Each structure stands twice: as C-alpha cells, then as structure tokens.
Amino acid sequence: MLCLTFVGLLAINEVGAQDKVDSSALMQKQWFQNTLKEREIQHLKDSITLDILQRQLQKGHSTSEQKILKQKLDSLQAKDSMYVSIAKDSIEALRANTTGVPVLFFNDTLFTVYASLGPYDASRRAKDLESKLQHLYDLPKYESDSLRTDFHEDISLVLYNGEVVAAVTYIDAIWANKDLHTLLEQYRRAIDQSIVGNRANNSWNKTLGRIGMAVLAITLMLLAIYLLNRGFMFLVKKVIRNKNNKIGGIRINNYRLFSRSHVLFFLLQLLKVLRWVVIVLLVYCAFTFILSRFPYTHAWATKIIDWFKFPIVKVIHSFINYLPKLLIIVLIIVAYRLINRTLFSLAKEIELGNLRIKGFYAEWGLATYKIVRFVLIVLTIVLIFPYLPGAHSDVFKGVSVFIGVLISIGSSSAIANTIAGLVITYMRPFKIGDWIEIGDSVGFVIEKNLLVTRLRTLQNEDITLPNTAILNGKTINYSESTRDPRCKSLVIKVEVTIDYAVNWRKVTELLLESASKTENILTEPKPFVLHKSFNNYNVGYQLNAYINQPENMFFIHSDLMHVVMDVFAKAGVEIRSPDYLNFNDVTRHNA
C-alpha cells in the first residue's frame, strides 16, 4: 500500500512538473506575442511621426528649425531600428514553437501567415485572404494589370482596382526572412499566378476535355476487365478442365500428398484471386486518374494514392533495410546445413562400420549425431533470433516467454524419456532385431528412438515401452550371447521331476538323448544336465542345451519338450509334477 502511494505521488509530481513546464512555455510564448503587438503599435506610431517630420523638412523652415527636426528624425529612425532588431530577436525565439497558417487556394498553398495584424490573428487573416482570392477568381473578367502594390514602411498593400486584397507588415517580412519589398512582390505574383492559372485550368474547354478523359478511362477500364474475364475463362477451359494436360498430383516419395483434383482446385482458386486483384488494381488506377484530372478532386486523388503508396513504400524500405540482416540469417542457415550434412555423413559411416573410432561403438553414431544436431539447432536459433524482424519488441519477447513456459511445463515426461533414451543408447543393452525381455514383455526390437522402444512379440503384437520404464526395469537380451565371442551360445532349459526310484544316471542319459534328437540344438558345446533339487516325493533335473537361433528359441524349446516326453515315455519313466504323489508307492514304503 505504501509503495502504491509512493508511486502515485511520484506520478502526480511528474504530471504537475510537466504541467508547470507547459504552462511556463505557454506563458513565455504569450509574452513574446504581446511584446510583438506592443512593438508593432509603437512602430506604427513612430512611422506616422517620421512621415510628419519628413514633410515638415520638405517645407523649407529656417536652418535652426531644420536642425531640430533633423535631430528628432534621426532619433526616431534609431529608435525604430532598435524596435526592428528587438522584433527580430523575439521572432527568432518564437520560430521553433510557432506553426504558421497556410493560405490555400484550390488546395495549393500560396504562402503562410505567422503574425497577427491589429485585432486579426493569423488564422483570421488567412481566411480573409482566401475569401478575397475567391472573390477575384469569381469576377466575370480578371486583368493582371489591375493587381498592384502600395508600399509603406509600416503596412504595405496588394490592391486590385483600389480594393485591398492583402496586407503585409514588416513583422511578416521578418517571419519570412525577407525584406518588405521582396515579400510584397512575392504576394502579388503568387496571387496573380494562382488566379490566372486556376481560371484557365477550370475553363469550360478544360472541363469538357477532362470529362472526355474520364469517359475514356472508364471505357478502357471496362474493356480491360472484359478481356481479363475472357482470358480467365479461356485459361480455365484450356488448362484446368482439359483432361489431357500434364498437371498431376504432388507426391513425397511414394506418398500422394495432394491428388490431381486438389491441385486443379488450388490452381482455380489462385486464378480467381489473381483475377480479382487485377480488377481492383484497374478500378483503383482508373478512379485515381479521373480524380486527379479535376482541380476540385485532385487533393482526394493525392490522398488515395498516399493511402496505398505509404504502406507499399514502407514495406519496400523496410525490406531493403532488412537485407543485411537477412543475408546474415541465410549465411547462418547455410553454415548449419553444411555442418549438419558433414556430421550426418560421418555418423552413417560409423554406423555402417566404414569408419571406426577406438572406444566408439557403431550404434552410437546416429545417437551422437542427433545430440550434436540438437545443439546445432539451438545454437542456430540463438544466433538467428536477434536478426528476426521485431525480435526486440515487447510482444515478441512476451510470446517467446509464453512458449518457453508451455514447453517447460508440458515436456517434462518427454525430456525424461529423451534422457533415458540417450542413456540406453550409450549403455547398449540391446539393438534393433534383438530378442529381449522387459518386465512381462518378450519380443524382438523393431524400433528404438529417444522417446520409446517398440517390441514385436511372437504373436505379432507391437508393444510400445517408454524409455524411462526400460531404464528403471530389468532387461534380458537373448541375442547378445550369439554375438559375444566370450559366450558359447544361448542356453535353453527344460526342467523335469522324476521319482526317487529311478536311477539318476538313467535320467541324465534320457535327457541328453532328448537333446541330441532335437533339431537346431548344437552338439558343440555339448548339452549338460543339472540336478536341481530334492523334493519331498521326487528329484528335480534340468536339461541345458545350446542354440544359436535366439529368434526361434520358443519353437526349439517346444520341440525339445516334445522329444523329452517321447523319450521318457518310450523308456517307461514317468515325468511327475513336483506336487504329484503316488499312493501305491506310499503304501509300499509304509509296508
């Protein structure tokens, strides 16, 4: 609450300070203007006195009287010169903060009025002058020789047949940085040229010619639109609706992204848009041309042209100014693509085994490339970002922060899986095509990426496992033993329970015989039998046999069990369940 109060007080103080500055500037400007009015009035009085003194000197008084009159005249001239100098200083102080009032005639600025004249301010003087110009323009007959000037040191006039058209003072001359003679003649010449030019420009002959040009422009516009529509229909029939054209669909490799009908529909819509764009441009050009032909609507045409010209010119200038930054962006992207292609080629060579690096496994090639590529992409974005249009604007920064927050909130699990995928890649627990067991899922690996691993089971079921689940669980690889030279091969096992009455040597012999009769079981290394357990009513045995086809281990294991059952049945040895109890044997033992 205290902070808010403090900020509010600061804001009030700043506003009050600004108001004081504005009020002070306004008061200073008002003081200068009042001073100029007072000096102008004094200048008029002095001019009248000077005129009287000059007339008295011309009458031929005595020498002493002429000397006195001469001294008064010199004093007034010096005083008047001082007033003019002070007025110049005051006007220079006002020049930076004062905007003149333009005198407009047929949307053309003839001159600008800054100073007031008696009770008339600059705006009133400009409007009065515009009305008098309109009066001269409306005269049945206008003669340039009748427009003359009447020069005086205080107020000079532009007259037409003795009637005042414009008044020019020495203050106006100071504002224009010219002497009064030059400014007065400039006023007369500008008024005369404007009246003569506009009367000639707005004559009936000129108006009829402009009407004819407007009719011609409309006719040409309608003819161009007609020809455009005919050309559009001809193009539709020949290109779009002709079944013999070579326009086909768009394919990406073997996938059809857009069919032929989609492409033709897109081309048809594009032609329609282009047709309407051309029609709008034709109407715009004809409309602005017609408006620019007539004096009363010339300003409208200029404004309409500026409406379209300003954004187009601004876009062109912005694009030209942006070209150096665009060139830098292009160079950064080209450098990224070259580095990316080089790294990809090296990764493929490593994966294929053509390039070997000590301590660097082949399956690490693409994984390492993906990591480096991600770093390169981030680095490229960081380098490009400052050169993007509007990159330093608050809106761009706000959107960037918002997107970053969304990504950080919604991608926590994805990042965890990605990191787990990288760890699994460098741990190398399995490869694509390996038979593995993860939790309750057994199958061969068909895909392995940074997010998930996919298995295909013996029943052709595809199982998708997140990499975090694989990293946190136990993984059994059945294929690795066939590749590792330190391993003999993969071992499959069959466990049986046999009665105590059967000699263990015979059981061992029967199990090894079963292994020798089963297909796809290796003779070297030789199968072996383990005595697993002494149960309450029987003995547990385990047959271990080597195979080199882990992808067929389930089928080989099933065949082995079939052979074991046949061999034991033929030998008359009963395979019992661990919980099987023969009551005849129990009775016999008890007796």
**Bridge partner residues of 493 (DSSP):** 544
Could you give the CA distance from residue 19 to residue 13 in angstroms, rounded to a whole number? 10
- State the fold for domain 430-477: SH3 type barrels. (2.30.30)
* Contact status, residue 437 vs residue 473, Cβ threshold 8 Å: no
Give the type of residue at 582: N
The pLDDT of residue 49: 61
Element (H, E) at 359: none
Could you give the CA distance from residue 421 to residue 453 in angstroms, rounded to a whole number? 9
**CB contact set of 553 (below 8 Å; sequence gap of 6+):** 435, 478, 490, 492, 547
The pLDDT of residue 512: 92
Where do the domains of the chain lie?
A: 2-95, 101-201, 205-293, 430-477, 483-590
Element (H, E) at 453: strand 452-456
Could you give the CA distance from residue 515 to residue 32 in angstroms, rounded to a whole number? 121
Could you give the CA distance from residue 126 to residue 220 in angstroms, rounded to a whole number? 43
Q: How many CA atoms, within 13 angstroms, populate the side-chain half-sphere of residue 205?
A: 3
* Contact status, residue 218 vs residue 290, Cβ threshold 8 Å: yes
Could you give the CA distance from residue 490 to residue 545 in angstroms, rounded to a whole number? 8
The pLDDT of residue 28: 41
Could you give the CA distance from residue 168 to residue 155 in angstroms, rounded to a whole number? 6
pTM, entire model: 0.46
The pLDDT of residue 67: 59
The pLDDT of residue 527: 92
Could you give the CA distance from residue 198 to residue 295 in angstroms, rounded to a whole number? 8
The pLDDT of residue 354: 78
Strand ranges across the sheet with 490-499: 528-534, 538-547, 490-499, 575-576
Residue entry with tokens 């096992």: 493
Could you tell me which of 357, 220, 370 has the C-alpha nearest to residue 286?
Answer: 220
The pLDDT of residue 568: 92
Residues of the chain with pLDDT under 70: 1-90, 92-93, 95-96, 153-154, 201-206, 239-257, 260, 295-296, 298-299, 391, 395-396, 402, 406-412, 577-591
Does 483-590 match 430-477 at the fold level? no
The pLDDT of residue 203: 64
User: How many other CB atoms are found less than 10 A from the CB of residue 498?
Assistant: 21
DSSP string, 257-319: EE-HHHHHHHHHHHHHHHHHHHHHHHHHHHHHHHHHHSGGGHHHHHHHHHHHHHHHHHHHHHH
Give the type of residue at 579: D
The pLDDT of residue 82: 57
**Degrees to nearest 5, angle at CA 124 with 118 and 126:** 110
Tell me which of 3.30.70.100, 2.30.110.10, 1.10.580.10, 3.40.50.620 is the CATH number of domain 483-590.
Answer: 3.30.70.100
* Contact status, residue 530 vs residue 487, Cβ threshold 8 Å: no
Q: How many CA atoms, within 13 angstroms, populate the side-chain half-sphere of residue 112?
A: 9
The pLDDT of residue 318: 84
Could you give the CA distance from residue 347 to residue 366 in angstroms, rounded to a whole number? 5
Could you tell me which of 502, 507, 549, 550 has the C-alpha nearest to residue 529?
Answer: 507
Could you give the CA distance from residue 505 to residue 540 in angstroms, rounded to a whole number? 13
User: How many other CB atoms are found less than 10 A from the CB of residue 45?
Assistant: 13
Q: Which two tokens stand for residue 214?
A: 């407007």
Residues constituting the chain: 591
The pLDDT of residue 181: 82
The pLDDT of residue 25: 42
